[in-house]
Structure 1
Amino acid sequence: MVTQADTDHIMKFPILVGDIGGTNARFAILVDAYAEPKEFPIIQTADFPTIDEAIQNAILDHTSIQPRSAVLAIAGPVEGDEIDLTNCAWVVKPRQMMETLGLSDITVLNDFEAQALAVVSLEPKHLEKLGGGAGDPHGSRAVLGPGTGLGVAGMVRSRNSWVPVPGEGGHVDMGPRTARDFEIFPHLEHIEGRISGEQLLCGRGLQNIYRAICKVNGTEASLQTPADITAAGLSGESAEAKETLALFVIYLGRLAGDFALTFMARGGVYLAGGIVQKIVAPLKDPSFRQAFEDKAPHGEILRETPVYIITHPLAALSGLSAFSRTPTRFGVSTEGRRWRRD
């Protein structure tokens, strides 16, 4: 039986879905509930002054399909009628967007809600396991995504629905534990006296760790970009870059273990984003699981908790597509985050 509440959740096809981060924006169009999403080339946010122009010029001008609805995930808190992105100059203005792009229904979610939606939507072929047990298929899950920033979200099961739990977990405190940490941490860039997860576990974090290591070692920090540091670390051509990746893996393991306990993530912890997809080999080093499980007195819980790398290149779009097709499967509150034309 379809209730009025169910009808209220339904969006009209075609539906534009978009995953908008600090650096890149990814879009696809769902023609109907059964078709595979029609994907478009990834957009660099810096190439367009506004999101409206990006969608018009890079998406709508290249297809005959006119979306009627949109579900957008953005990197930042969703508040009010003008929504700022945390690491991007774009401002999402849904009421204006309905006028300029001809849409009648717009829902805006947090980008890591989209990643959380993905972890119950992806096929096993898009997941690479990093140890642990089988996991509870109905158990809570946690998602961490080092990228331009550090996104964190949970996914919990309630009343036969999956409920994404977004937040700003990437800004929790990080502290030193080992002798090497105590050498390096004084040289890390901090924010108002504190070092957060995002100061270590994102592209900027790779640079932060690398420069601190070079400072301690008395060497020149000649590598400038996260991509350069990652490449030099993977190839072994730079000892400092190689240690940067090793510490990045350990710090990610520690924080992933913290959030596994926070959400009691018996369904698993999922690592998302482009950075983790580039460092699969370092993540398979035993140091990751050791850091993840080193949570006395709860080490046994974490030894059984699986960790997965999400290998799907457009995982968030997959999650948004799953939500768009069957919104009643998910306990997503759209109050204050959905705009509809009467």
Structure 2
Amino acid sequence: MNKQLIYGDIGGTKTILQLAEITVDGQIHERCTQRYDSTAFATFSGMLEVFLQQVSVNNPPAAACFAVAGPIAGQQATLTNLPWQIGSAHIAHAFSIPSVKLINDFEAVALAIENLPGSDLITLQSGQPHAQAMRVVLGAGTGMGVAWLTPVNNRYVAWPTEAGHIDFAPVTPLQISLLESLQNRFGHVSVERLLSGAGLTHIFKFLQQSTAASSDLPLIQLGEDSGAAITALAQTQKHPIAIQALELFAAIYGAYAGNLALAGLCRGGVYIAGGIAPKIIDILSAGGFMHAFHAKGRFSALLHEIPVHVVTNPAIGLLGARQEAFRLLDNGP
């Protein structure tokens, strides 16, 4: 009898759930995929119940794995950018699923890297990759996610982190002024305050305010998370402040990626994932990102040796969750 799996990528903005069937010969066949606005549901259980009704599941799935945008402790998760609390035991009991596992969203992204085809990558720097060496995966989207990949017994093991919440380290006078502006508002300024959709908005508003007295450009009023609108302003209207905001965003991104590459000595590669990078690949490829990545003083030569790739597959987190759900069939949670 064929077995069914449910897996999903749960984010602060959107959630993607998928149902797949495992045939007797071990092949995975996707049956249904649904995308939901996360903020439209009070709880994840409510969303999962709607999904199961929509896909008309008659028997409980054999296993489920959900990638969650937030820290996980004891298989309990609280989303960083959404007031949801999720527990694997509660899901297993409520929906009669024998094996349920929660993993961090960037743990899921990292798990999928090893099996990702080259067509899903844009290389910013080929470098000199070392086999079975440390890797790091990071990505700006609703927040900033980071996961390490360590080689163990000829495969990679993913380690989730909350490195997106470490301190922002400015490296130019303009970035120092940006830090001071955000400190006045937030106190502590994490990397995520800059490298996220909301972070790009903070950068744009800072630059707009800084140039208001000397610029003839009309002031643009933006919401708290208007990264997509700013990107459109830069790419379709060539708005000078929007272009400057993206360039500053890319420089901060590159410097941070270089810091992580040094912290893990990631000779196996740096992988830039998340929803923003593919949309601004022209900015990331223009040179500012890699210049900041390399700017590590005595270790600049080492940074030139580390491969840097942008992940273009938007479903990479879902792929990692599917991979882990499949593993649950044999090994359990």
TM-score by length of 1: 0.86
Identify if the C-alpha distance between structure 1 residues 197 and 327 changes in structure 2 by more than 3 Å, giving closer, same or farther. same
Tell whether the 8 Å contact from 1:20 to 1:74 is kept in structure 2 after alignment: yes
Unaligned runs of 5+ in 1: 1-11
2:113 maps to which of 119, 140, 145: 119
Q: CA deviation at 1:106?
A: 0.6
Would you say 1:155 and 2:149 are equivalent positions? yes
State the alpha-carbon separation in 1 of the partners of residues 128 and 29 from structure 2. 29
Q: Supply the AA of the counterpart residue of 2:299.
A: H
Identify if the C-alpha distance between structure 1 residues 105 and 161 changes in structure 2 by more than 3 Å, giving closer, same or farther. same
Counterpart for residue 143 of structure 1: 137
Q: CA deviation at 1:280?
A: 0.9
Counterpart for residue 73 of structure 2: 79
Tell whether the 8 Å contact from 1:189 to 1:199 is kept in structure 2 after alignment: no
Counterpart for residue 318 of structure 1: 319
State the alpha-carbon separation in 2 of the partners of residues 63 and 281 from structure 1. 43
Tell whether the 8 Å contact from 1:251 to 1:291 is kept in structure 2 after alignment: yes
State the alpha-carbon separation in 2 of the partners of residues 250 and 271 from structure 1. 14
Counterpart for residue 258 of structure 2: 257
Identify if the C-alpha distance between structure 1 residues 191 and 94 changes in structure 2 by more than 3 Å, giving closer, same or farther. farther
Q: CA deviation at 1:134?
A: 4.8
Q: Supply the AA of the counterpart residue of 2:311.
A: I
Q: CA deviation at 1:189?
A: 5.4
Would you say 1:195 and 2:189 are equivalent positions? yes
Counterpart for residue 309 of structure 2: 308
Would you say 1:131 and 2:138 are equivalent positions? no
State the alpha-carbon separation in 2 of the partners of residues 270 and 190 from structure 1. 33
SS of 1:317's partner is helix
Could you say which structure has the higher strand fraction?
Answer: 2
Q: Supply the AA of the counterpart residue of 1:306.
A: P
Q: CA deviation at 1:327?
A: 6.5
Would you say 1:28 and 2:29 are equivalent positions? no
Unaligned runs of 5+ in 2: none
Would you say 1:222 and 2:221 are equivalent positions? yes
State the alpha-carbon separation in 1 of the partners of residues 267 and 194 from structure 2. 26
State the alpha-carbon separation in 1 of the partners of residues 75 and 321 from structure 2. 21
1:89 maps to which of 71, 83, 88: 83
Tell whether the 8 Å contact from 1:236 to 1:242 is kept in structure 2 after alignment: no
> How many residues align structurally?
321
Measured on the aligned residues, the alpha-carbon RMSD in Å equals 2.4
Tell whether the 8 Å contact from 2:272 to 2:309 is kept in structure 1 after alignment: yes
Instruction: Tell me the alpha carbon deviations over residues 108-159 of structure 1, each in whole angstroms, 9 at most, x when there is no partner.
Output: 1111110110111211111111123252342211111101111111101023
Identify if the C-alpha distance between structure 1 residues 320 and 136 changes in structure 2 by more than 3 Å, giving closer, same or farther. farther
Tell whether the 8 Å contact from 1:51 to 1:92 is kept in structure 2 after alignment: yes
Tell whether the 8 Å contact from 1:37 to 1:321 is kept in structure 2 after alignment: no
Tell whether the 8 Å contact from 1:43 to 1:58 is kept in structure 2 after alignment: no
Counterpart for residue 7 of structure 1: none
